[in-house]
Structure 1
């Protein structure tokens, strides 16, 4: 038996439509969108356009040309941060961020005269809104936060934080890697200026496609980050300053975008809230089962409604790397061990430098998978 419980890294399996869509583009369309006036190239253009529209609908966004495609969310966050940050800015982030936020910010500190404050979260990974308010300075220009932790799933109070940012004229950038497709994400309600997304996690698309939504206010701060061919105003030696071309140099991953479109259509047909409800039930089942094992420590909230279905554990009987290895080798259970590219989060929850064993539930897991995973963990620990 094989059970995949590493959906926070990438969802698997994907809906059948996603596989079909990627293959169909490569086999039957093949052309480079935006680079030709013949039928296949125009069909590629239509797919790109339709995917931008689908993302607008999913995220309640209102500007088609402000939907930007990149290779992944790490590239998206780098483009946003490195194209907007100016000397003198004070930036606030949190102690549970992924390295795709922390590393660019630390890199910017080396090249620009900026301040970066890392807001300390609780041991459950939650931002204290009152402490956030106290951290704001007269020169605070940017807040960048994840919507949900990739280590313990904690969902942050971003609507409240977004309102505070708006009241103080602070730009607000959201990393939705762990939330988009898994829980409702509303650009308008979150009061953000940019929302970075990845296609291959809960949006159920293939790897190698991501992007971001950016409002006009933040776009005015941004300079082009990667320059090159756009298929537009090719006579000019200067990068276009209009969207999306300003940020979309080079060939887009059209097969990936086609697959992403299929994934979003699947999600919207199922309903994000319905997907969340099913995953939350499985998450609570798993947490309750793990809580009955004396040697297991579960990190983060024990109430599944306060988190995405990402569960990190350790056992006092065995190292998490060895436990993960045995689960895979003997039981066919695929989960992730280590620091999960988020060392500050592990410092926050007290698991640095050993990390955790992380299980993450996806839309195609079921109760039998959870029962089997609990049986496997119990069986291994009973021998120790």
Structure 2
């Protein structure tokens, strides 16, 4: 039975063939340490990293590619920014739909550094009141963190307006691009983004174990990891130069080569085209689910702008049971549970229920959407018996 994949919010699948080919080429032909040698294999590996930075800079409107550092994922990038910026007794603002990759580091620093945290409440649609942002800024506010799009609701936050408020108050902004990098237009200059954390394995169509962070050149962030960088090795201290300052140890050259091809694919297709297709597919899915009795959709309403995420519950059924049935009986892959975002579930009143999350990707088809809808209808009918 053919697999229907609806878990693109966790990792996109399938990948473009060029991604797989690029990774294989590195492993077979020049799997040497980038930046650690002057021989031709090492130079070729280094070139892959730099070319990938260039592609990412094009996508995100970044002037100098060297201010992009590679990370294992968005979680590592967020930890680098949060733990490298915040100091004792400082104040930070974030939203009530943040991922645990933001909440847990903040709560850790709250105990360690007496950090003061304000969680701005969104409504059940995932929308935020900009006046609440302005009112929450204090004299010791150092940082405002917000995810560009909720990984539970698919709602899109107005980060450009939030960043504008922050700039007027001299506050640094950190954007979690886990659900929007490669799926929504992001320009760090135009949108006033000081720090951007992003994954390689979702909308950028690269492999798992890739991602990165952009840090504005005027902002100093303490490294999360110290060690070998291949530069300034005679110094006891971590190098100041970027990206070396934030890239200790051997980099994932095969993965980054795959990421480069993923980003190139996105640039060729265009973010606008990708978002348009995913939005239309999501609207078809939502429209179909709304016609099924006992199904409740979370987040933005039909017709609203959102990412390709549709979270829902079936009355009288546990989310995990629905996901299990979809997997075993229909060969449909979805995600169930709390999606590492208990704050978001608390916001929309599903903290005890969790939710089934179906997330489309650029390669999802209309036929797959309709197949999922028929499967949900059958599950609902069986549950009534």
Q: The TM-score by the shorter chain falls in which range? A: over 0.9
- Supply the distance in 2 between the matched residues of 1:248 and 1:346 (Cα, whole angstroms): 35
Quote how far apart the aligned CAs of 1:225 are.
2.1
Q: 1:203 to 1:304 in 2, by over 3 A?
A: farther
Matched, 1:275 2:274: yes
1:280 touches 1:305 (CA, 8 Å); kept in 2? no
Instruction: Give the Å deviation of 1:134.
Output: 1.2
For 1:329, the equivalent position in structure 2 comes to: 328
* Match status 1:95 vs 2:96: yes
Deviations 1:118-140 (CA, angstroms, capped at 9, x unpaired): 01110111111111111111221
Residue 205 of structure 1 is matched in structure 2 by 206
Alpha-carbon separation, structure 2, partners of 1:19 and 1:223? 34
Deviation at 1:34, TM superposition (A): 0.3
Note the residue ranges of structure 1 that are not aligned, 5 or more in a row.
none
CA distance in structure 1 between the partners assigned to 2:32 and 2:17 by the alignment: 23
Query: Where do residues 65-214 of structure 1 align in structure 2 (5 Å cutoff)?
Result: 65-214=66-215
**Distance in 1 separating the partners of 2:300 and 2:32:** 48
Which secondary structure does the structure 1 equivalent of 2:214 belong to? strand
- Structure 2 residue aligned with 1:228: 227
Question: Which secondary structure state, in structure 2, belongs to the residue aligned with residue 69 of structure 1?
Answer: strand
| Whole-angstrom distance in 2 between the partners of 1:196 and 1:166 | 19
Give the aligned partner of residue 5 of structure 1.
6
Map residues 239-278 of structure 1 onto 2, 5 A cutoff: 239-278=238-277
* Equivalent-residue separation in structure 2 for 1:83 and 1:34 (angstroms): 24
What secondary structure does 2:44 align onto? helix
Counterpart of 1:57?
Answer: 58
Change (3 A) 1:182 1:305: farther
List per-residue Cα deviations over 1:258-288 (Å, max 9, x = no partner). Answer: 0000000001111110000011100000000
Distance 1:15 1:356 in 2: 30
Q: C-alpha root-mean-square deviation of aligned residues, in Å?
A: 1.0
In 1: Cα distance, 2:64 partner to 2:104 partner: 30
Deviation string for 1:84-140 (max 9, x for gaps)?
Answer: 101231100011000000000000111113211001110111111111111111221
Instruction: State the TM-score, normalized to the length of structure 2.
Output: 0.98
Q: Which residue of 2 aligns with 1:47?
A: 48
Q: Secondary structure at the match of 1:78?
A: helix
Residue by residue over 1:292-326, the C-alpha shift from the partner in whole angstroms, topping out at 9 and shown as x without a partner, is 01110000112354210101000113211111111
| Structure 2: 5+ residue stretches without partners | none
Matched residues in 2 for 1:349 and 1:162: separation?
25
Answer whether contact 1:283 1:304 (CA < 8 A) is retained: no
Partner of 2:381: 382
Provide, for residues 132-171 of structure 1, a one-character-per-residue CA deviation record: whole Å limited to 9, x for no partner. Answer: 1111112211101100000010000111001111111100
Q: Write the distance in 2 (CA, Å) between the matches of 1:54 and 1:305.
A: 31
Cα contact 2:287–2:302 (8 A) shared by 1? no
**3-state secondary structure, aligned to 1:122:** coil
In structure 2, the residue corresponding to 1:217 is in which secondary structure? coil
Q: Distance in 1 between matches of 2:184 and 2:332?
A: 25
What is the DSSP-based 3-state SS (H/G/I as helix, E as strand, rest coil) of the residue aligned with 2:329? helix
Count of aligned positions: 382
Cα pair distance change 1:173/1:364, threshold 3 Å: same
Farther-moved stretch of structure 1 (362-371 vs 62-71): 62-71
Q: Which residue is 2:294 aligned to?
A: 295
TM-score (norm 1): 0.98
Question: Residue 215 of structure 1 corresponds to which residue in structure 2?
Answer: 216
The offset of 1:29, in angstroms, is 1.1
Cα pair 1:281 1:304 within 8 Å, conserved:
no
Match of 1:341 in 2: 340
| SS, match of residue 306 in structure 1 | coil
Structure 2 distance, partners of 1:193, 1:17, is 32
SS at match of 1:206: coil
Match of 2:315 in 1: 316
